[in-house]
């Protein structure tokens, strides 16, 4: 069973089990009730309320961000080199153990 580890804004960690391939990291976090995850646009890449920092060990396992995602991330004062919108990160079995941290709210 694959696991996603989420560090919340309060510093707590949640482990989400059984990610289904094709679902997004945002959907997995939303469905498990991760605190402070707003995901206001529901995954349509029109807000940045699902901004996460991806563990650098996993960052290259995702396709590069498209222009719209880059623009939204650029609007955050909390952008880091591994910043991504979790709604754009598709889960696959090779991501077992992925750790993401919810970025602070802008």
pLDDT tens-digit readout, 57-71 = 999 999 999 999 999
Residue 81's pLDDT is 97
pLDDT for 80-95, tens place per residue?
999 999 999 999 989 9
- Long-range contacts made by residues 18-24, C-beta under 8 angstroms, separation at least 24? 19/91, 19/95, 20/91, 21/90, 21/91, 21/92, 21/93, 22/90, 22/91, 23/90, 23/91, 24/86, 24/87, 24/88, 24/89, 24/90, 24/91
Q: What is the pLDDT along the chain (106 residues), one digit of tens a residue?
A: 799 999 999 999 999 997 788 899 999 999 999 999 999 999 999 999 999 999 999 999 999 999 999 999 999 999 999 999 999 999 998 999 999 999 999 8
Q: Which residue has the tokens 């696959």?
A: 92
């Amino acid at each position: 069973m694959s696991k996603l580890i989420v560090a919340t804004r309060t510093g707590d960690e949640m482990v989400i089990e059984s990610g289904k391939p094709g679902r997004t990291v945002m959907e997995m976090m939303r469905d498990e009730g991760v605190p402070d995850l707003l995901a206001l646009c529901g995954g349509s890449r029109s807000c940045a309320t699902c901004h996460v920092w991806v563990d650098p060990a996993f960052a290259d396992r995702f396709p590069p961000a498209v222009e719209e995602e880059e623009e939204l991330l650029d609007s955050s004062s909390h952008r880091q080199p591994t910043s991504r919108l979790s709604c754009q990160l598709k889960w696959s079995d090779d991501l077992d153990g992925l750790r993401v941290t919810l970025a602070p709210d802008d």
